[in-house]
Amino acid sequence: MADVVDGGRARPVAEQSTAELVQRATEQISTLIRDELALAKAELAEKGKHAGIGVGLFGGGGVLALYGLGALVTAAILALALAVPAWLAALIVAVMLFGVAGILALAGKKQVSQAVPPVPSAAADSLRADVNVVAAAVKDGRRS
C-alpha cells in the first residue's frame, strides 16, 4: 500500500484520513483519465492515418475502374462498327448507356424518397410511447 509523506515521514494508508484518501483517489482518477484520453487520441490518430491512406487508394482504384469502363464502351462501339457505320455504332451505345443511366437514376430517386425525412420514426414512436407510459405512471402516482 502507498504511503503519504507527512513532515518527512511516511504514514501508512491505514493512518490516513478520509479526506486524504479521497484527495489521492481524485488525483489518481484524474491522472488515469488523462492517460487514457492521451492513449485514445494516439490510437485514433493512427487509425485516421490508415483510413486516409485507404480512402485514397480506394479513390485511385475507382478512377482506374472508370477508365476501364471507358475502354469497354469504346470496344463495344468498335465491335458494333463492324456491322454498321461507326457513327451509328457510337449512337446506339450512347442511347443504351443513357437508358441504363435513366433506370439507375429512377431507382436512386425512389430510394432517396424512402429515406426522407431522415427521422428515425420507429425510434420516435417508441420514445413517445415511453413518455406516455411514464406520464401515466406519474399521474396515477399523484392520485394515490
Question: Using one digit for the tens of pLDDT, what is the confidence trace for 64-81?
Answer: 999 999 999 999 999 999
CB half-sphere exposure, 113, CA atoms < 13 A: 6
Q: What is the pLDDT of residue 67?
A: 97
pLDDT at 5 over 60: no
**pLDDT of 97:** 96
The structural domains of the chain, with segments of one domain joined by +, span 15-67, 81-116
Mean pLDDT of 60-64: 96
Give the mean pLDDT of the chain.
Answer: 87
Query: Is the pTM of the predicted complex or chain greater than 0.85?
Result: no
The H or E element containing residue 98 is helix 86-115
pLDDT tens-place string over residues 100-142: 999 999 999 999 888 777 667 777 788 788 888 888 877 876 6
